[in-house]
Amino acid sequence: MKMKNYVIGVDYGTDSVRTIIADTSNGNEIASAVFQYPRWKKGAYCNPSKNQFRQHPQDYIDGLEYTIRQCISIAGEAIAANIKAISIDTTGSSPVAVDATGTPLALLPAFAENPNAMFVLWKDHTAVLEAAAINEHATKFETNYLQFVGGIYSSEWFWAKLLHILRADEAVQKACYSWVEHCDWIPFLLTGGTDAKNMKRGVCSAGHKALWAKEFGGLPPNNFFSSLDPLLDGFTSRLFTDTYTASEAAGTISPEWASRLGLSAETIIGVGAFDAHMGAVGGQIEPYHLSKVMGTSTCDMLVAPINEVEGTLVKGICGQVPGSVIPGMMGMEAGQSAFGDAYAWFKNVLAWPLKNILAQTTLVNESTVEALINETIDNIIPVLSKEAAAIPLSENNELATDWLNGRRTPDANQLLKGSITGLGLGTDAPKIFRAIVEATCFGAKAIVERFNNEGIPVKGLIGLGGVAKKSPFIMQMMADVINMPIRIHKSEQTCALGAAMFAATAAGIFNKVEDAMAAMGQGFDATYFPNPANTAIYAKRYEAYKSLGNFTEMQLS
């Protein structure tokens, strides 16, 4: 009887890390575990009013160990003995300052409580001025170093965040040897890396966020950065030239981590990548089908044969990089800075009296108050969705933009704010919620429209992630707004499953990622088709959305 092989996929999300053990023969999930970041949950090191969002590396380490050990405990020793590889995905761009050993500065006693020494989360927009400076500076060079990232550099990305931290904190500036993406650091950690220069950097993070391109011979030259700010002089020499696809091995697990996790010392560690990229693979992406990972934000992935799209540069997206999703194919990324976050914002607005007034009541005991608050908050979105779905569709309904956390694509601009118009005395919470949901769907349509207009045809939609699985109301509206069917992937953990597929490939169980997708893919369990009665009205409202967006942008520029 042939022995089965198993792999581990680790998915670092915004709020938690999720880990699965998967059977490589069929993709079945043998065990899973989730770890909520305790410091993040408390709001530590974050200041939403300043768009500052930082995460402590110790949360990542604790989550890695807890979830893998928990999965092994569930699966049993026999399965654990046949785990061949681990691959991880993370949010991005979420970089951190490290010393020469590759240790994040926040893990050193002197910086343990310094937010500038921690991972700068993808949604952190403190670097808007630095991003603007990079965009202006790039126009001075004969070579367009922004050509493969849509022509606009974002405050959500690698170099803008580095420059901001170096300018903002002299102590971190002096101690910072290199700048490392979360998805590159975890494999380095697991393989026992002790020299930042030897860290294997993934082409996914390097190409989409750090301006790496084979056409440039790697990163842009030192003079591009040193002439922007002397603080960046010489920094490229401490970064990287070579990059690797996620189908390759970063190395073998270190003896320390093999012991800590209870795994074989021969366990392969795969090169890391971003969550949406591995999620697209877990969700069985197809050429020219937009794979939409829908959570706090959206990341929209599209792959195409390189020979069919070479020479086509799509303006205003988050990059196009050969091999960043599937080796041998062009990977293109777009997305929205707020999706589920837009709904969470409105839920928090409505929950304010519960947290600040009801919480102080003396009419009932403390445990009852807490239970009432939690039950009500948990029901806000489900009840709003039900009520909003019952509102008749009209051209004249309340209208909103989805830029509550700025705009990612098309055309990154993190200074933008959300807006709502058409409010009246008859406007209630369900009507506002419906306008916000429409706005996120209109934002999704703008991305499809940009690809189509730039010569990359979007032939289908694939929905992945929590919102796609949990909200028929939102998914039906998206199908109506974009006027395309949207298939919902069966897996609850597409990002972790995608990581598992890459782990199986890195371990040599499969020759290529496409083979892993075919063997381990879980298929689709729902399809939402456009309602012809709604599409024409949404088309008119989409034009109104664009007009509102243009007006809003003019006021903020």
Helix axes 429-453 and 472-482, enclosed angle (nearest 10)? 40
CA–CA separation, 112 and 105 (whole Å):
8
The reply to whether 317 falls in a domain is no
Same domain, 351 and 421: yes
Number of domains present in the structure of the chain: 2
Burial of 492 per CB tally in 10 Å (0-12, 13-18, 19+): middle
The reply to whether 161 falls in a domain is yes
Q: How does pLDDT run along the chain (557 residues), one tens digit per residue?
A: 467 999 999 999 999 999 999 999 999 999 999 999 999 999 999 999 999 999 999 999 999 999 999 999 999 999 999 999 999 999 999 999 999 999 999 999 999 999 999 999 999 999 999 999 999 999 999 999 999 999 999 999 999 999 999 999 999 999 999 999 999 999 999 999 999 999 999 999 999 999 999 999 999 999 999 999 999 999 999 999 999 999 999 999 999 999 999 999 999 999 999 999 999 999 999 999 999 999 889 999 999 999 999 889 999 999 999 999 999 999 999 999 999 999 999 999 999 999 999 999 999 999 999 999 999 999 999 999 999 999 999 999 999 999 999 999 999 998 899 999 999 999 999 999 999 999 999 999 999 999 999 999 999 999 998 899 999 999 999 999 999 999 999 998 999 999 999 999 999 999 999 999 999 999 999 999 999 999 999 999 999 999 999 999 999 87
CA–CA separation, 12 and 92 (whole Å):
10
Same domain, 349 and 445: yes
Task: Say if CB 298 and CB 402 are below 8 A apart.
Answer: no
CB atoms under 10 Å from CB of 371, counted, come to 12
The reply to whether 122 falls in a domain is yes
Determine the 3-state secondary structure of 87 from DSSP.
Answer: strand
Same domain, 451 and 514: no
Question: Which amino acid is residue 404, in one-letter code?
Answer: L
H or E segment and range at residue 414 = none
pLDDT computed for residue 492 by the predictor? 87
Helix axes 472-482 and 366-389, enclosed angle (nearest 10)? 30
CA–CA separation, 27 and 282 (whole Å):
10
Contacts of 347 (CB under 8 A, 6+ apart): 377, 380, 381, 384
Task: Say if CB 517 and CB 22 are below 8 A apart.
Answer: no
- Write a three-state SS string for 349-400: HHHHHHHHCHHHCCCCCHHHHHHHHHHHHHHHHHHHHHHHHCCCCCCCCCEE
pLDDT single digits (tens) 154-205 = 999 999 999 999 999 999 999 999 999 999 999 999 999 999 999 999 999 9
Spatial CA neighbour of 385 closest among 477, 463, 464 = 477
Same domain, 258 and 407: no
Burial of 511 per CB tally in 10 Å (0-12, 13-18, 19+): exposed
The reply to whether 113 falls in a domain is yes
CA–CA separation, 171 and 110 (whole Å):
10
pLDDT single digits (tens) 466-484 = 899 999 999 999 999 999 9
Same domain, 165 and 93: yes
The reply to whether 78 falls in a domain is yes
The reply to whether 255 falls in a domain is yes
Same domain, 63 and 199: yes
Which stretches does DSSP call E strand in 280-371? Answer: 289-294, 298-305, 320-322, 329-336
Same domain, 383 and 400: yes
Same domain, 184 and 103: yes
CA–CA separation, 72 and 261 (whole Å):
8
| Tokens read off for 321 | 């990089």
Same domain, 173 and 102: yes
CA–CA separation, 158 and 258 (whole Å):
31
The residue whose two tokens read 């009932």 is: 364
The reply to whether 124 falls in a domain is yes
365: domain CATH number?
3.30.420.40
Same domain, 497 and 529: no
Host domain of residue 205: 6-283+492-522
CB atoms under 10 Å from CB of 215, counted, come to 9
| Tokens read off for 29 | 């999930």
Contacts of 519 (CB under 8 A, 6+ apart): 24, 25, 26, 27, 510
pLDDT computed for residue 310 by the predictor? 86
Backbone CA torsion sign across 70, 71, 76, 79 = negative
Task: Say if CB 243 and CB 202 are below 8 A apart.
Answer: yes
Same domain, 127 and 150: yes
CA distances from 260 to 18, 190, 362 (A): 18, 10, 48
Same domain, 353 and 223: no
The reply to whether 304 falls in a domain is no
Exposure b/e, 126-144, CB count within 10 A at least 16 = b: bbbebbbbbbebbeeeeee
Exposure b/e, 70-103, CB count within 10 A at least 16 = b: bbbeebeeebbeebbbbbbbbbbbbbbbbbeebb
pTM: 0.92
Determine the 3-state secondary structure of 319 from DSSP.
Answer: coil
